Amino acid sequence: MTNTVHHTSVDRAGSSARSSRLRMLLRTISRDRKLSFLLICLALLAGIAILAPVLSPYDPIVAVAATPNMPVGSPGLILGSDNQARDILSRVLWGARISLIVSILPTLAATAVSIVIGLLAGFFGGRIDTVLMAVLDVFFAFPIVLLAIAVAGVMGPGLLTIIVSIFVVLLPYVTRVARTSALQVVSRPYIEAARSAGGGQIAIMLRYVLPNMIGPVIVYATTLIGLMIVVASGLSFLGLGVQPPAADWGAMIAEGAGVLRQAPHVTFIPGGMIVVTALLFNLIGDQLRDRFDARKAE
Amino acid sequence: MTKTTQGEHLLEVRDLRTRFNTERGSLYAVDGVSFTVDSGRVLCIVGESGSGKSVTVRSLLRLIDPPGEIIGGTAFFHGQDLLSMSKKQIAAVRGDKIAMVFQNPLTSLNPMMTVGDQIAESLLLHRGVSKAEATREAVSLLRQVGIAAPESRVGDYPAQFSGGMRQRILIAAALACRPEILIADEPTTALDVSIQAQILGLLKKLQSEINNALIMITHDLGVVASIADDVMIMYAGRIVERAPVREIFARPRHPYTQGLIYTVRALLDPDRPLHPIPGTPAIPLGEKKGCPFAPRCGYVQEVCRTKTPELAPLNQDHVVACHVLPQGSAAHA
């Protein structure tokens, strides 16, 4: 009798343990009001990008205004029109899609690959570490714009060119952080404790080192997204990104540059979006860093 | 009951030598250590920092990483040499037959894994039991080490426990497979004094229940007095004296052991003058000649500087490595 009672309560404890980590995470986030606010802002931004086709009042690539460069608040055109008489609001909404994809996707991809490389290098050390890091040092030497021009030379300008360029450029930076993080975790006493309990190399690497090393990497990557939005816009500005008439925020700035004196809003509206978005990711990164540090101090 | 016959011991370590290859030369952290471990007994390894106590026990489980390497010796456990078995074989021994509890409970648990999972780990590894069974066993282990409401706490993370409780959890994890030898490396050093006594009591109680061997590393003679059956004193990578606990405290014969014991006595008795051991611990770097303790020894003679003393039996249980063998002296007493 007692045995069955015991049994069920333990099973419940076991299964709830898995969901409890997620619940703990959610609780931690909801308790942090600053982080909650920032994440809601991010969700709004993502919502705008996803719902661009629904939200935008006009087709972003068709001239809809009576004249180009109409000011903010013109009738029917809340944010005015650009130098080709297109609706700026619609273009900003559609541009959010490209700008976010082009900065988030390569950062995510680079982070994932970096965690794998950094984990292997930090955990195994020795020759594996030396070779992996030497290869990445070569990547370190690439200036991002030259690399993007080279990639564009092979693949032609476009979305993929920017994504590949940013991925390659980010890889060595994130991997450095991932490797350092893995090295720190490897020297922690609980790794030796796991070995003394008879754990195999792979199990220790995946169950002990990996979960404990990713925190700082995620924080770093989040901050990088903010920077990459700016970088991606820069590459678009140079004409290496999506081709007209489609546009992300960087390309919109490039188009507005010609009429900067007469109609500064054509440039400043997408510019403001870049600043706000980059800032948002940076603040989220900072907030996550505080979270992780607080947990470490515990 | 004599325990001197060969082959009767649970673990028999002979001439263990572990070296660290540093930029300043080879550091002989463990330099020809031999000892035996028996079921049902508590062996305390005592020595100051850097004397090689931790390296000795880590060498037994082959937890020495480069630049360290085990360069010689044997450690027979159930007829097999721990030092020469394959990596797979030694991994099977770790946590199953020989388990270890570490010094710092705050950093020895994986912060991203529930305590239940960490206790269950070695059961899953070595016993091939189901997850549910392992979790059930983890609950009963938590109860044995005195964690209240273990059913509800088995899914908690280490950060949700205090230092003393985490040390209990580490002990539970180490005992999961009922190891024949439990090694505890200064398990109470990082804890409050009041908690230290509880943890020592727990270790002693569980050791006598399971009737396994406990190897306890410490530099605290109070711990030794309260828990040890046998005591081994290490200095500069070598054993300088080994004897049952009563013998060590009543008739210490090595000048270093005497220094340790008289210093502690002086601390307890305000009327006694304090005679600290002069000098600093020897660093066993490179080739050495003579007794490593000679530079700090009050009885040093010519022979001590030229010839390294070997461990020699005084009687059946008491061995000492000293040319002079002073009877506790006027200077110290």
pLDDT, one tens digit per residue, over A105-122 is 999 999 999 999 999 999
Whole-angstrom distance, CA of residue A290 vs CA of residue A105 = 25
Task: State which residue of chain B sits closest to A207, comparing Cα positions.
Answer: B113
Say how many domains are in chain A: 1
Residue of A123, A297, A285 whose CA lies nearest to A210: A123
Residue-level pLDDT at A276: 93
Torsion of CA B189, B193, B197, B202, to 10 degrees: -50
Residue A248, domain CATH: 1.10.3720.10
Residue ranges covered by each domain of chain B: 8-36+57-83+232-333
Q: Count of CB atoms within 10 A of residue B40's CB?
A: 13
Residue-level pLDDT at B195: 84
What ipTM was predicted for this assembly? Answer: 0.80
Task: Identify residue A298 by its one-letter amino acid code.
Answer: E
The pLDDT > 90 percentage for chain A reads 31
pLDDT tens digit string along A38-47?
Answer: 999 999 999 9
Whole-angstrom distance, CA of residue B79 vs CA of residue B8 = 10
Whole-angstrom distance, CA of residue B245 vs CA of residue B183 = 18
For residue A135, pLDDT over 80 is answered with: yes
Task: State which residue of chain A sits closest to B124, comparing Cα positions.
Answer: A199
Contact A13 B152 (CB under 8 A): yes
- Residue A65 DSSP code: S
**Cis upstream peptide for B67 (omega within 30°):** yes
Smallest Cβ distance to A10: which of B110, B117, B151?
B151
DSSP A8-30: HHHHHHHHHHHHHHHHHHHHHHH
The pLDDT > 70 percentage for chain A reads 91
Q: Model pTM?
A: 0.79
A vs B, Cβ pairs < 8 A, gives: 101
Torsion of CA A200, A203, A208, A214, to 10 degrees: 140
The CATH number of the domain covering residues in B8-36+57-83+232-333: 3.40.50.300
For residue A63, pLDDT over 90 is answered with: no
Is A22 contained in some domain? no
For residue A28, pLDDT over 80 is answered with: no
- Cα A123 from chain centroid? 26
Whole-angstrom distance, CA of residue A266 vs CA of residue A269 = 6
- Residues 204 to 263 of B: which have CB under 8 A from any A CB? none
- Block means of pLDDT (10 residues each) for chain B, 333 residues, are 58 91 84 90 89 90 89 90 90 91 88 90 88 90 88 89 89 90 88 84 88 90 89 91 90 89 79 77 72 85 85 88 74 43
Mutation target for A interface from B87, B97, B108, B161: give the one with most A CBs within 10 A. Answer: B108
Which residue(s) pair with B181 in the sheet? Answer: B98, B213
**Containing domain of residue A120, as a range?**
82-279
Contact B100 A196 (CB under 8 A): yes
Strand B42-46 to strand B238-244: parallel, antiparallel, or no bridges (unpaired)?
unpaired
Which residue(s) pair with A221 in the sheet? Answer: none
Chain A neighbors of B152, CB-CB under 8 A: 13
To the nearest whole Å, the CA of A3 is away from the closest chain B CA by 10
For residue A2, pLDDT over 60 is answered with: no
What confidence category does residue A10 fall into, taking pLDDT thresholds of 50, 70 and 90? very low
Is A183 contained in some domain? yes
Residue-level pLDDT at A297: 47
Is A223 contained in some domain? yes
The position carrying tokens 């611990």 is: B281
Cβ neighbors of A57 (< 8 A, separation 6 or more) are A76, A78, A87, A89, A90
Residue-level pLDDT at B46: 92
Q: Hey, is B23 helix, strand or coil?
A: coil
Is A157 contained in some domain? yes
Is A209 contained in some domain? yes
Task: State which residue of chain A sits closest to B173, comparing Cα positions.
Answer: A197
Is A51 contained in some domain? no
Residue-level pLDDT at B241: 92
The 3-state secondary structure of B10-67, one letter per residue: CEEEEEEEEEEEECCEEEEEEEEEEEEECCCCEEEEECCCCCCHHHHHHHHCCCCCCC
- Residues 117 to 146 of B: which have CB under 8 A from any A CB? 117, 121-122, 125-126, 131-132, 135-136, 139
Whole-angstrom distance, CA of residue A204 vs CA of residue A65 = 63
A246 vs B283 pLDDT, higher one: A246
Residue-level pLDDT at A294: 55
C-alpha count within 13 angstroms, C-beta hemisphere, residue A166 = 34
Is A248 contained in some domain? yes
